[in-house]
Structure 1
Amino acid sequence: MQIQQILTQIHPLPEASQAQLIACISEVHFPKKHLLLKADTIERKIYFIKKGIVRAYAYQNDNEITFWFGKEGETIISMKSYVMNQPGYENIELLEACELYELQTDKLQALFHKDINIANWGRKFAEQELIKTEERLIARQFSTAAERYAALLKNYPDLLQRVPLGYIASYLGITQVSLSRIRAEIK
């Protein structure tokens, strides 16, 4: 997915503003299994996924708990680092070799002060990230594992071909055995 498409799906920008923002973005490539963001670190970069899939996870009682998947067109960010300049709690691992667009947050912050259109784009970005987080929280609290699995398949139809089932089970908060049962019931 091209950077112009990704930026526009967040919020349309006038051509001159989009050009300023794109001028601060570079393309980077990392191999499968690369740990892009690390917990307990202040992250100073935002990434947009051109190609590939990633997962966010945190540790609980020495277990990795997957709580988010990102694919083409999505943003990789530590919101705690971005908003509060504090260490984040998440690790972001690349599940495939990835092509990413990289933006340093200090450059983005400078553009916010310089261009109201980019500042509004940033506000819309933050609002969308908040809604996504809220939806994940509500789904986790009020949906069954089967409902969460069905939603995951709807939002990420190619996920089963791209992500190990153990990570999907972790995301759903269930064991792989329970996931197998849910998958058998849906077929």
Structure 2
Amino acid sequence: MKKTNHTTPEEAASFLEFANNLHPLTRGISQYLIENTYPKSVKKGKILHKAGEICTTMYFVKKGVLRGFVNDENREITTWITADGELVSAICSFILQIPTHENIQTLEDCELVALSQPDLERLYLKHPSFNITVRKLIEIYYMHAEHRAYIVRLKKAEQKYQLFLKHYGHLANRVPVKHIASFLGITLETLSRLRAKK
């Protein structure tokens, strides 16, 4: 992806705060991130990354909601949902630089801060302490992946929805019901009944 103008300190502030909360950033790392990230605005409903392509960019979500989904014959299966204050990428493709089977779509108008894979690799080499930041980030997202795997393996729809509200309750009214149902592996009708009870 072609890089546009880098972020200003103000545009990068929330991303720097996010990273600094994982592990304190040196002045050099903060400056590198300001100079090597760029702002990106994406309208609701757009495909940010398409299946079959190599994902070369990681995004910090300043504002908005996105989902990952895969195509299975004639249906879309939502694999994850994320929102403000988190990172998003087709992670296996981003790390290994291979084509992905995953699509990334915006569910709201989104304001993002983008960092390319080559620039991240250079950051690791130039400022080794940033490896600690990313290790802590990976630990958090591994736990998130475990939560998702547990939810979809449960048999009872009510249990699935209760866990969704526990871990993703802040998204319950921001994500279309059909995507939540797909994410949980239940029918739209079942989820509508569960929401009516709540």
Give the alignment's TM-score, normalised by structure 1. 0.90
Do the aligned residues in 2 keep the contact of 1:57 with 1:65 (CA within 8 Å)?
yes
Matched, 1:13 2:25: yes
Summarize the alignment of residues 71-150 of structure 1 with structure 2, pairs less than 5 Å apart: 71-142=83-154, 144-150=156-162
Q: 1:87 to 1:10 in 2, by over 3 A?
A: farther
Moved more, 80-89 or 95-104: 80-89
Does the alignment pair 1:70 with 2:78? no
Provide the aligned length of Structure 1 versus Structure 2.
186
Q: What does residue range 16-95 of structure 1 map to in structure 2 within 5 Å?
A: 16-95=28-107
Gaps of 5+ in 1: none
Q: 1:168 aligns with which of 180, 183, 190?
A: 180
**Alpha-carbon distance in structure 1 between the residues aligned to 2:107 and 2:22:** 24
Report the Cα distance in structure 2 between the residues aligned to 1:135 and 1:11, rounded to whole angstroms: 24
Equivalent residue of 1:16, what SS? helix
Question: What SS class does the counterpart of residue 161 from structure 1 fall into?
Answer: coil
Q: Report the CA distance between 1:55 and its aligned residue.
A: 0.9
Report if aligned partners of 1:113, 1:119 keep a CA contact under 8 Å in 2.
no
Matched to 2:182, the amino acid is S
Cα root mean square deviation, aligned: 1.8
Structure 2, unaligned runs of 5 or more:
1-12
Q: Name segments (4+ residues, structure 1) moved above 6 Å.
A: none
Deviations 1:117-162 (A, max 9, x none): 1122222223332222122112222463222222222333342332
Q: Secondary structure at the match of 1:130?
A: helix
Distance apart, 1:58 and its partner CA: 0.5
Whole-Å Cα distance in 2 between the matches of residues 22 and 89 of structure 1?
31
Between 104-113 and 126-135, the greater mean CA deviation after superposition:
126-135
Find the aligned partners of 1:67 and 1:73 in 2 and give their Cα distance: 19
Closer, same or farther: CA 85–144 of 1 in aligned 2, 3 Å: same
Q: TM-score, normalised by structure 2?
A: 0.85
